[in-house]
A and B are shown apart, each in its own frame.
Chain A
């Protein structure tokens, strides 16, 4: 965790304005300075006053991009799958459907597990979110929201609340009551407000903060109790479709992916974009961290899933096949990171060997697009949500 090579943002007084804030350690003409993000931007704009034209700036940017590509290329001394040849081939998996959760009246768009490893919350185009004990198939709570297409839902770490949002441009937190007769929607509290649909949401390591991604091109961190915006993240040039929090206990980063085909890694403290990856050929529908937090995978409409390492700052694997032509909507890793489960618009789930790059298995069963796949917190099962109105548990 402490070996992360992203820019070490320290916290302290800024060299320029003196305010205490997260600092970026940058080099100006090989001189190291520590500026807060506001002063960095001021400085960047001041450079412009030195009579630079848009064209000359673009030229500079292009030459830097080329240089960066060259430098990174030098590190690409071998392919991951080549190094992984010495890894033992996986014995064939016998993953089957173990549960089918029926109850939604329309497409299931999102699912999230509870930390207790057996409960989950799912949300649907029919405007409802349902909390299930997936083990017993028991529906424990139902929340009706005033909008259709509830595209995002998340279970709070305490297990006492869920968050959901979608076409209403909001993300609301609903405390789960033990009283079955209580109307949960009445206690619903709007936390996040975006100017376009909410595509993804997750609690940070507590019930008190919510991180959201939106069709308005931004991500945002909210204080649940007050609804206050704590930090916003700008940088995507199109809808943001997905986000995932880094798994580290002290982690302060998250990754997002969107319709601009980019996957960006952000520092939650400063709001800065730390790293950016652009190798997909179409919308990135889902991003998910590898369990160690050093890498992440993405699923895209270009029918590929890709694997990026943060330390090498590049794509290190592509998971694709001639026969897989439909877009991938969602990915998740197994507990050890050896398997990558990917849900596709061709109603299947492909299971990829992360290291070797080969497909290990296809899971058939759903009768319409798979919108989301999630491995349970202890890795014992995979849950898939689909446009066929059901969820399936695989193990």
Chain B
């Protein structure tokens, strides 16, 4: 087995890719591994265990590892420690001496630490030829502990077929490796053999086990140093050794910032400096009161009536939400803010109904129309924008809204080149108006209070009233949504 130099590429220089995503985790694990092996600094006791007629060198029990993790990483739950330990094993840093499956058990099962030569942080991508050499060499040595597992025998058979022409070469390499191994000390060989096996358990895992060498393709491209990839375990002078890994494509070096870039940055920073910001104490209070207000509506924190459908398999909760009779709890939410009221289709309906009763629904209808405008396909926007102008803002408009002259001027200017945002100013102005005026009155109105206090109403009246306002809304905004979609929206509320 070739225990060659660690750096096949560079001359031991600082690796510029230290912060690639996998490397961050590897370095953290390596830190843990280093600490755990440091007996003087509270690490585990690595010792030789006597077993029947032989000795097992350099092992530690799973329970010891679990205890160490609990103590040194402030873990409360042993399950968490076992899970973390299993991941460290799955990545190939520790391994059970008598199993191909890399997990950690909280008992007397014996584990060994992997040699730094085989650490994943060395960017290993071993080839199938090496794997073939490895399996082949195992069959040559007459040792019970080196017998191939079923899946390994299958792999070997497959590789023999795939490399049929090269097999003589592979066989020779395997023989050479066996010769090299024989020269080593017996105890040392036990350790090295197990480490080598653990290495292959990571790169050619047992079927059904997670292959921890799989990478997120979005991160792959950025490995800047493809030459750092190690492909050959056995120093085989393969011409594939110098091939770039298919997964590591050199990305362009980051563009140096130009004068324009820095100037843009300066402009941006000036804008940030001029921004008025709030103190953390104030935003903390705001975040806390928002969460507090909504916590009773949060099904994952508080229980919901009658039950959470996913837990009880009973959809009553959803049916109630979809019904035309909003619950008191839901009606109370409309009182939190105008935003909340408008977010709920039932709230929107009731607010519209109230405004109709006051003959002042044009504000809300304008707001809804502008919302709809922003949802139109690009080519429909200019004509819709004009329609809104005609309905709400033009001289003699049927649903004239009250805009201050500044906003009015701006809006009419915008309409010279109508776009989705032509009415932004106006919409914001109208929203503020509704918020400070009609919304407050709505909350005091009978329409709202009746629902909030669940007072009995005359069924005939309200049914009529609702339909009328809905009809009016549909008519005035126009055929903005297809019938199907409108129903869809209604059903999903």
Known A-B contacts: A225-B377, A334-B298, A338-B298. Give 20 more (CB < 8 A).
Answer: A12-B414, A20-B413, A26-B270, A26-B271, A27-B270, A67-B273, A77-B281, A78-B284, A84-B288, A90-B301, A207-B375, A215-B221, A225-B378, A230-B378, A291-B294, A303-B28, A316-B283, A336-B291, A336-B293, A336-B301
CB-based nearest A residue for B74 = A322
Contact between A5 and B488 (Cβ–Cβ < 8 Å)? no
Which interface residue of B266, B484, B491 has the most chain A CB atoms within 10 A? B266
Q: Kindly state whether residue A301 has any CB partner on chain B within 8 Å.
A: yes
Q: Kindly state whether residue A168 has any CB partner on chain B within 8 Å.
A: no
Q: Kindly state whether residue A13 has any CB partner on chain B within 8 Å.
A: yes
Q: Kindly state whether residue B181 has any CB partner on chain A within 8 Å.
A: no
Contact between B291 and A362 (Cβ–Cβ < 8 Å)? no
CB contact between B284 and one of A44, A115, A250, A316 (< 8 Å): that residue: A316
Bound complex: CA of A168 vs CA of B268, how far in Å?
34
Contact between B492 and A115 (Cβ–Cβ < 8 Å)? yes
Residues of B near A135 (CB, < 8 A) are: 309-310, 315
With A12-B425, A159-B492 as contacts: A346 and B83 at CB distance below 8 Å = yes
Contact between A117 and B488 (Cβ–Cβ < 8 Å)? no
Which interface residue of A239, A273, A301, A303 has the most chain B CB atoms within 10 A? A301
Number of interface residues of A (CB under 8 A): 135
In the assembled complex, 15 residue pairs joining A and B whose CB atoms fall closer than 8 Å, in A order, are A2-B435, A54-B259, A118-B318, A160-B484, A223-B378, A225-B378, A259-B222, A282-B19, A294-B290, A325-B29, A335-B299, A336-B301, A337-B294, A347-B83, A395-B299
Q: Kindly state whether residue B260 has any CB partner on chain A within 8 Å.
A: yes
Interface segment out of the listed A138-146, A179-187, A306-314: A306-314
CB-based nearest A residue for B343 = A249
Contact between A99 and B413 (Cβ–Cβ < 8 Å)? no
Residues of B near A116 (CB, < 8 A) are: 491-492
Contact between B273 and A71 (Cβ–Cβ < 8 Å)? yes
Q: Kindly state whether residue B239 has any CB partner on chain A within 8 Å.
A: no
Q: Kindly state whether residue A102 has any CB partner on chain B within 8 Å.
A: no
With A368-B210, A380-B308 as contacts: A312 and B277 at CB distance below 8 Å = yes
Residues of A near B32 (CB, < 8 A) are: 325
CB contact between B84 and one of A78, A291, A346 (< 8 Å): that residue: A346
Q: Kindly state whether residue A38 has any CB partner on chain B within 8 Å.
A: no
Contact between A336 and B263 (Cβ–Cβ < 8 Å)? no
Contact between A48 and B284 (Cβ–Cβ < 8 Å)? no
Interface residues of B (CB under 8 A from A): 19, 21, 24-25, 28-29, 32, 69, 73-75, 77, 79-81, 83-84, 87, 210, 214, 217-219, 221-222, 254-255, 258-260, 262-288, 290-295, 297-301, 304, 308-311, 315, 317-318, 321, 337, 339, 342-343, 371, 374-379, 410, 413-414, 416-417, 421-422, 424-425, 427-428, 431-432, 435, 484-485, 488-489, 491-492
Contact between B25 and A57 (Cβ–Cβ < 8 Å)? no
Contact between A325 and B25 (Cβ–Cβ < 8 Å)? yes
Contact between A158 and B485 (Cβ–Cβ < 8 Å)? yes
Contact between A48 and B260 (Cβ–Cβ < 8 Å)? yes
> Nearest chain B CB to A326's CB is how many angstroms away?
6
Residues of A near B290 (CB, < 8 A) are: 291-292, 294, 336-337
Contact between B378 and A395 (Cβ–Cβ < 8 Å)? no
> Nearest chain A CB to B141's CB is how many angstroms away?
34
